[in-house]
Chain A
Amino acid sequence: MELFGSFALILAFVCALYAFCGGIAAIITRHPLLIKSARQAGIAVCWLIFTSTLSLVYLFFSDNYSVAYVVSHSNRDLSTFFKIAALWSGQEGSLLFWSFLLAIYVVSVLLTYRNKNGELMPYVSVILAGVQLFFLTISNFVASPFKALGVANSAGGFDFVARADGNGLNPVLQYPEMVIHPPNLYSGYTGFTIPFAFALAALLARYPGEKWIHLTRKWTMIAWCFQTIGILLGAHWAYAVLGWGGYWGWDPVENASLLPWLTGTAFLHSVMMQEKRGMMKVWNVWLVFLTFMLCILGTLLTRSGVVSSVHSFAQSSIGNWFVGFLCIVIGVCLAAYFKNKDYLKSENQLDSLASRESSFLFNNLVLLVACVAVLSGTLFPVFSEWFTGTRISVGAPFFNKVNIPLGLLLMFLTGVGPLLAWRKTSMESMKRNFRRPVVAGFLGAAVGFILGLREMFALICFSLCVFVAVTIVQEFYRGARVVRARSGASWLASCVDLTLRNTRRYGGYIVHLGMVMIFIGLAGQAFNKEVEKELPIGSTISVGKYQLLLQSMEQKQEKNYVAERMIVEVMKEGKPVMMLYPERRNFPANQESGTMVAIYSTLREDLYVVYAGMNPQNNLPTIHVFVNPLVKWVWWGGMVVVMGTIVALLPNRAAVVVLAPAEVPAVAKELTGMRPAQVTLREGHD
């Protein structure tokens, strides 16, 4: 099976090479058969990658320990569930998995548009084949997941060998979230290839109009949604597994995932400027290019060891390949831009500073500044080593100090944007729109202050969250009021109706509401409490309103590990609340250990308990307890963001023609003896 997988992979490389070269020839010659064959080769690449990936999965399931990658990342006791996660737990497998996800996108695009956009698709196919070719080169010739285990024999050759068992999967990856976090994050990274391909193709082909924008919007949203889910799942995994009480540590790999998310978010906003007003064409094209480049750069940072990270990929020499690919991408984008930049001229002018266009411009500015600040902070240790010979660290406090003000500014703009009209907002309209949200924001700040909120940034954040939330509620209220007046439906039904008629707009508002919830959760970090203590059995530790009694300790033999756990009774203000079982797991296969944090989570706060191990000097268990306010808001907010994105992806409900009886004067009734009908066209109120 390893030969089968390896063969499929090399065949995929050959087909990708043909799809790329044949595709270029097809664009030049415009020969229909050549165009078709290049497209078919592109589809074949995808099926071959699927085959190769599935054969690697089969090698894991069948415990084939003659393959080096399987030996390094699995063992017989590993559950089937985690054998799936083993696929992407190492360098080679994760790169193949990357190709697999990209292939899903590529085959979807090639099949969806096989009979559409004839002028654009050959370019798109070539660009996608080029990207696939790069990853297949790596998977075939640099980091193959199908390398067989071998030992040198006396004749100077190699004998193939098979091990009885594998080294097992890294313990920190043996959590359910690790099975879903990387696929989501990778789906985000790979998904941004599609808008990149369409943008570059439109520029190269000088494709008229904004059609590429319409074509790529939903692909960008899908990629963005996956990236959001991936980032949040990664944060939740770090919170639930690593045992340090936080969920975002500004680690270079975390930063790498945030960078394309920030530019992708900027694009999703600025794209409206091009759709509505024909403006920011250059900006949009470069935002898409930049997002893709940041995906590649993030991969480079993650896998090259340029910056140190807690993530395990950071030890390899694969970085040079990514540097080369990134240089090619930059070169191609620059060449395409300078050759065809006249095609990107804006059509309209800015009518007023008090307009939605301005708010989008500033929104993009803040997102881009945050992106560049995070990027330069992440790379600063490298820069400092180049310039001074000494590596200066840039840790979480720096990123927090830089990004908190930017985040607050962004939250402010999130509230302002929907209150401004396109083109120009009159002073009267501004007064009317801003009055309630601004008053609510100040009231929120006052209430927070009265309740004892003294941290400046937390207070500002809370106030802005109220401002934005009221803005969104006001928008829904105004729209639903119109629908309700026409249909007589309930408020809830009117809101649903309204949303379904303009999914993009109201889905966007739901996303904003989710972001408000996330910001509330983030603000809670300012009030975290923690205590660490050696705790003899039968003793109690107090943190905030909680008292924790260590009842006993127990050891449990599981299939793949030995669990040592604390049995802790939690009391709140003297009353029993629940039992918690924080544990520590020792994995004999790779002589590593991991934690399983116990969390009592409420909307108000999380009680986060870590069994930090047994002190070898006095044999006392050490407990680490955190009280983290409002963390749940981050996860729930994330769910709302995803829900809003799904709503925004739905097509608008079509306008419905309703025949409604109209009041007719009695005289007219007598004259005609008929009841005329009034035709009402129900459509989006905006």
Chain B
Amino acid sequence: MKNRMRIPAGVLFACAALMPPGATRLLAEQSDRTHQIGSKLKCICNGCDQAAGKCYHVGGAYSGPCDTAKTMLKEIDAHVAAGMTDEQVLKAMIQEYGPLAYVEPPKSGFGLVAWLMPILYLLAGTTLVIVVMRRWRKRPVTVGAAPGDQGVYVSPERLARAREQARRETEE
């Protein structure tokens, strides 16, 4: 996987280097739109899980986007300059780099599982809490009585425990 990624990245770098000076736009000149699209794609430097527009992977020639992210931004910029829509740019980049370039899982296929999981946790957890509450509410309150006694006998130990409990519960 790692090697498969290196090939398009290398080709892109070579293309960028071979472009005439006017065609190679500098990072700082790239539009906000390029950076916005870049923030929806993951930097494939394999050193981080950040977006291409935000990769702070240490070790690049600049701080901020690392060299790999800059290569991706340049490619996005080229797509934008060619008049592609945001969706088309994203599609082209995913085709180029594979699902690894998603910064968040797609809402289709197996990626949908990632989105459904938190909802399932919340539903399962809420159900569990409701079940626990219902069980707690139904639980009978036990009163200790010595067998054979006419009245309710409460042993000194139990009384002390009840007092301690009352103290704790009214303590706040």
Q: Which residues of A contact B (CB under 8 A)?
A: 171-172, 242-244, 246, 249-252, 275-279, 307-310, 346-351, 353, 358, 361-362, 365, 368-369, 372-373, 376-377, 380, 383-384, 387-388, 390-398, 401-402, 406, 422-423, 502, 505, 532-534, 584, 592-595, 610-613, 615-618, 622, 624, 684, 686
In the assembled complex, the Cα of A275 lies from the Cα of B103 at a distance in Å of 45
Chain B residues in 8 Å Cβ range of A397? 40, 51, 103-104
Q: In the bound complex, do residue B64 and residue A624 qualify as a contact, i.e. CB atoms below 8 Å apart?
A: yes
Residues of chain B contacted by A252 (CB below 8 angstroms) = 49
Chain A residues positioned under 8 Å from B139 (CB to CB): 346, 348-350
Task: Among A308, A532, A584, point to the contact of B27 (Cβ < 8 A).
Answer: A532
A84-B59 Cα distance, complex, nearest whole Å: 24
B46 within 8 A of A: yes
Tell me the residues in window 77-130 of chain B with beta carbons closer than 8 Å to chain A beta carbons. Answer: 98-106, 109-111, 113-115, 117-118, 121-122, 125-126, 128-129
Given contacts A310-B57, A369-B121, contact A392 B63 (CB under 8 A): no
Chain B residues positioned under 8 Å from A622 (CB to CB): 27-28, 62
Which chain A residues border B48 with CB–CB below 8 Å? 249, 251, 308-310
- 9 A-B residue pairs with Cβ-Cβ distance under 8 Å, sorted by A, are A244-B55, A310-B58, A373-B117, A377-B114, A393-B100, A534-B28, A610-B63, A611-B63, A613-B61
Known: A380-B114, A392-B110, A622-B28. A612 touches B136 (CB 8 A): no
Q: A308: which of B49, B54, B110 is its contact (CB, 8 Å)?
A: B49
Kindly state whether residue B141 has any CB partner on chain A within 8 Å: yes
Interface of A, secondary structure class, is mixed
Q: Which residues from chain B contact A384 at a C-beta distance below 8 Å? A: 99, 105, 110-111, 114
B99 touches A395 (CB 8 A): no
Cβ-defined contact, A243 with B98, below 8 A: no
Distance in Å: Cβ of B78 to nearest Cβ of chain A: 17
Number of A-B contacts (CB under 8 A): 192
For residue A56, give the distance in angstroms from its CB to the closest CB of chain B: 26
Known: A242-B58, A243-B64. A309 touches B49 (CB 8 A): yes
The answer on a CB contact under 8 Å between B63 and A243 is yes
Q: Bound state CA distance, A594 and B56, in angstroms? A: 11
Q: A244-B54, A380-B105, A505-B172 are in contact. Are A617 and B63 (CB under 8 A)?
A: no
Bound-state Cα–Cα, A299 to B59, Å: 24
Asked whether B105 lies within 8 Å of A398 as measured between CB atoms, the reply is yes
Which residues of B have CB within 8 Å of A353? 133
Q: Which of B27, B114, B125 contacts A394 (CB 8 A)?
A: B114
Residue of A nearest to B42 (CB): A393
How far does the Cβ of A124 sit from chain B's closest Cβ, in whole Å?
24
Q: Which are the 8 A-B pairs with shortest beta-carbon distances? A: A686-B172, A244-B56, A350-B136, A613-B62, A395-B103, A373-B118, A398-B104, A243-B63
Which of A308, A348, A396 makes the CB contact (< 8 A) with B46? A308
- Closest A residue to B55 by CB, please name it: A244
Q: Which residues of A contact B125 (CB under 8 A)?
A: 365, 368-369
> CB distance B51 to A396 under 8 Å?
yes
> A349, B129: Cβ atoms under 8 Å?
no
A616–B98 Cα gap in the complex (Å)?
31
**Cross-chain contact A349 with B49 (CB below 8 angstroms):** no
A396 to B64, CA, bound (A): 16
B 149-172 binary contact with A (CB < 8 Å = 1; else 0)? 000000000000000010011011
Asked if B118 and A244 sit within 8 Å, CB to CB, the answer is no
A612 to B109, alpha carbons, bound, how many Å? 39
Contact A391 B50 (CB under 8 A): no
- Decide if B1 is an interface residue (CB 8 Å cutoff): yes
Contact partners of B58 in chain A: CB under 8 A = 171-172, 242, 310, 592, 594
Given contacts A393-B103, A532-B28, contact A610 B64 (CB under 8 A): yes
Cβ of A544 to closest chain B Cβ, rounded Å:
15
In the complex, residue of chain B having the shortest beta-carbon distance to the beta carbon of A244? B56
Q: Which residue of A lies closest to B136 (CB)?
A: A350
Q: Is the CB of B50 within 8 A of A392?
A: no
Question: Residues of B contacting A350 with CB < 8 Å?
Answer: 133, 136-137, 139
Task: Knowing A349-B137, A394-B49, A610-B64, say if A310 contacts B100 (CB, 8 Å).
Answer: no
Looking at the assembled complex, report how far the CB atom of B32 sits from the nearest CB atom of chain A, in whole angstroms: 9
Q: What separation, in Å, do the CA atoms of A231 and B42 have in the docked complex? A: 24
Closest to A245 in B: B54
Q: Are B27 and A393 in contact (CB under 8 A)?
A: no
Q: Provide the residues of chain B in CB contact with A398, threshold 8 Å.
A: 103-105, 114-115
- Interface residue B15 (Cβ < 8 Å from any Cβ of A): no
Q: How far is the CA of A244 from the CA of B132 in the complex (A)?
A: 45
11 A-B pairs besides A278-B165, A310-B58, A369-B122 with CB distance below 8 A are A244-B54, A249-B49, A249-B50, A276-B168, A348-B139, A349-B141, A376-B117, A377-B117, A392-B106, A402-B118, A534-B29
> Of all chain A residues, which has the CB nearest B142?
A347
Closest residue of chain B to A532, judged by CB?
B28
**Distance of A614 Cα from B106 Cα, bound (Å):** 37
Chain B neighbourhood of A611, CB < 8 A: 63
Within 8 A of A (CB), among B12-58: 26-29, 40, 42, 46-51, 54-58
Contact of B99 among A373, A387, A390 (CB under 8 A): A390
Q: Is the CB of B56 within 8 A of A242?
A: yes
Min CB gap B134→A, angstroms: 9
Known contacts: A275-B168, A369-B118, A533-B28. The answer to whether A393 contacts B101 by CB under 8 A is yes
> Known contacts A242-B56, A350-B137, A391-B100; is A361 also within 8 Å of B63 by CB?
no
Nearest residue (CB) in A for B124 is: A369
User: Chain A nearest CB: distance from B126 CB in Å?
Assistant: 7
